[in-house]
Amino acid sequence: MAIDINEYNSKLKPTWCPGCGNFLIHMSLKKALSELNITPSQTYIAFDIGCNGNGADKINTYAFKGLHGRAIPLSAGLHLANRKFTVIADLGDGACFHEGLDHLIHAIRSNYDITIIIHNNQNFALTTGQATLTTDEEKPMYGLPDSKPERTLEPSEIILSANPSLYARGYSGDMQQMTELIKAGIQNKGCSVIEIMQLCPTYNEECTPQWFMQRIHKIEDTNRTLEEARKVGTITDESINTGIIYRNTQLKTFYELLENRKDTQTELVDEVKQYDVQKLFDQFK
C-alpha cells in the first residue's frame, strides 16, 4: 500500500512555466517516495538554487534549501548524521556541473548512500538562460549572441569517470520511468546519480517533447562494464538512451569503510551527550 501522494504536498502550488519538466520530476519524486512507503518525516531533501529548487516549499518533507551548487555536500552531511533518513540532493545542471562539480565527483568517489537528482535542462534557467556545459554548441545564449566558445561536455562521461554506484538517465516527459529510476536510486545502497533530461520550453525551446521522443531509447537494466556504460550513455545527434546505465554493486559506502564505526549501532544524532575526557587528558604527560 503506497502512501497518499497528497501527504507530500505543501500548501503552495508550483510556479514553473507551462510545459516545464520540473512538474513531472517533482511528481515522480513524490510518487517514488510514496510507492516505497517512505513518509515525509522519513525523507530529507537538500534543494539547490535554480528553477528546480523553487520546488522546495512545494514539497512537504524535511528539506533544506541551501546555496547554489552546494546541495550535494549538504546532503552528505545530513546523511552521515542519521543514515535512517532517505536523503536526496536535488539540483540543476548549472549547480551540478558548474558551481559544484567538485562535489559531484567527490560524492561519487566517497560513495555516500544518497540519491542525487540532476535536472538537466541544458541551461542556467533561473538566471534567464545562460549557457552551461550541456548547452548546444551552436546555440546563441544570454550574453552570447554567437553561442558559447567553450566545448560541450557529456555528463555521462563526467559521472562514469568516477565509477558511481548507480547511474541512470530519465526524461522529464516519462513519469513512469522517472519514478522507477528514482526508486532504484533510493533503494540502491550507495551514491546514486539520476540525470533527468528536463524540458525547458522557455530557454531550451528547440528541444520539444517531439524532439526528445524522436531520440529517446529505453535501455535494459543489465550488467554493463564501465566501457559499455560509456557507449550506452553517450548522447548522439540521433539518440538519447534512458534507463539504468550503470551499476556497481561491489562498492562499499563511505560509512561502511569507517573502521571506528564498524560495531556501532547508533547514529551520530543519537550520540550527542557529555563525554568524559579525563582518560584522554591523562594520556598527555
Partner 1 sequence: MPANRYCIKLGGESGQGINTLGILLSKAIKSIGYNIFSYREYPSLIKGGVASYQIDLASKYIASSSKSCHILVILDPEAVHEYLHSLNANGILLYDDKQVVFTQEEQDWIKQNNVHTIYLDSQTIAINAGGSPIMSNIVMTSFLWKLLGFNPEDLTNIVKEIFASKGDDVINKNILCLNAGYNASEFKNEYLQNTLIPEQLKQENSSKILTGNDAIALGAISAGVRAYYGYPMTPATTIFKYLGNTYKETGILIKQAESEITAVQMALGSMAMGTRALTATSGGGFDLMQETISCAGITETPLVIVLAQRIGAGTGVPTWTGSSDIHTAVKSGHGEFPKTVLCVSDVQSGYILIQQAFNIAEIYQIPVIVLTEKQIAESLFTVETLPQPLQIQRGTYDGESRYTITNTGISPRWIPSFDKKPYLNTSDEHNQNSQSTENAEEIKAMSDKRMQKHATLLSNLPEPTLYGDPNVPTVLVGCGSTKNPVIDAINEGMNIAYLHYEYIFPTKTQALMNLVSSGKRIIFVENNQTGELGKILTEASGYQFKEKVLKYDGRPLFLEDILNIQI
The three cell numbers locating residue 99: 558551481
By the rule CB under 6 A, 202 interacts with ligand SF4:
yes
Interface positions, 44-103, toward ligand SF4 (CB under 6 A): 51
Q: Degrees (nearest 5) of the Cα angle 147, 150, 152?
A: 90
Residues near 3 by beta carbon (within 8 Å), at least 6 away in sequence? 33, 34, 37, 38, 39
Interface positions, 65-104, toward partner 1 (CB under 8 A): 65-67, 70, 73-82, 84-85, 102-103
Distances (CA, A) of 84 to 78, 145, 209, 245: 10, 49, 38, 27
Interface positions, 76-95, toward Mg ion (CB under 5 A): 92-94
By the rule CB under 6 A, 118 interacts with ligand SF4:
no
CA distance 40 to 43: 5
By the rule CB under 6 A, 28 interacts with ligand SF4:
no
> Closest distance between ligand TPP and the C-beta of residue 243, in Å?
23
By the rule CB under 6 A, 20 interacts with ligand SF4:
yes
DSSP designation for 114: -
Contact 156, 234 (CB under 8 A): yes
Interface positions, 91-150, toward Mg ion (CB under 5 A): 92-94, 121, 125
3-state secondary structure of 197: strand
CA distance 162 to 12: 38
> Closest distance between ligand SF4 and the C-beta of residue 34, in Å?
24
CA distance 212 to 24: 15
What single string gives the DSSP state of each residue in 2-29? PPPGGGGB-SSPP-PPTT-THHHHHHHH
Which option in ligand TPP, partner 1, ligand SF4, none does residue 147 bind, with CB closer than 5 to 8 A by kind?
A: none
Report the residue number, 42 or 127, with the smaller CB distance to partner 1: 42
Distances (CA, A) of 202 to 129, 131, 159, 178, 211: 8, 14, 27, 22, 15
- In the complex, the residues that contact ligand TPP under the rule CB under 6 A are 49-52, 68, 92-95, 119, 121, 123-127, 132
Which option in ligand TPP, ligand SF4, partner 1, none does residue 30 bind, with CB closer than 5 to 8 A by kind?
A: none
Interface segment toward ligand SF4; rule CB under 6 A; list 67-75, 198-206, 212-220, 262-270: 198-206
Interface positions, 1-30, toward partner 1 (CB under 8 A): 10-12
> Closest distance between ligand SF4 and the C-beta of residue 120, in Å?
11
What residue number has its CB nearest to Mg ion? 92
Binding residues vs partner 1 (CB under 8 A): 10-12, 39-44, 46, 49, 54, 56-57, 60-67, 70, 73-82, 84-85, 102-103, 105-106, 254-255, 258-261, 264, 267-269, 271-277, 279-281, 284-285
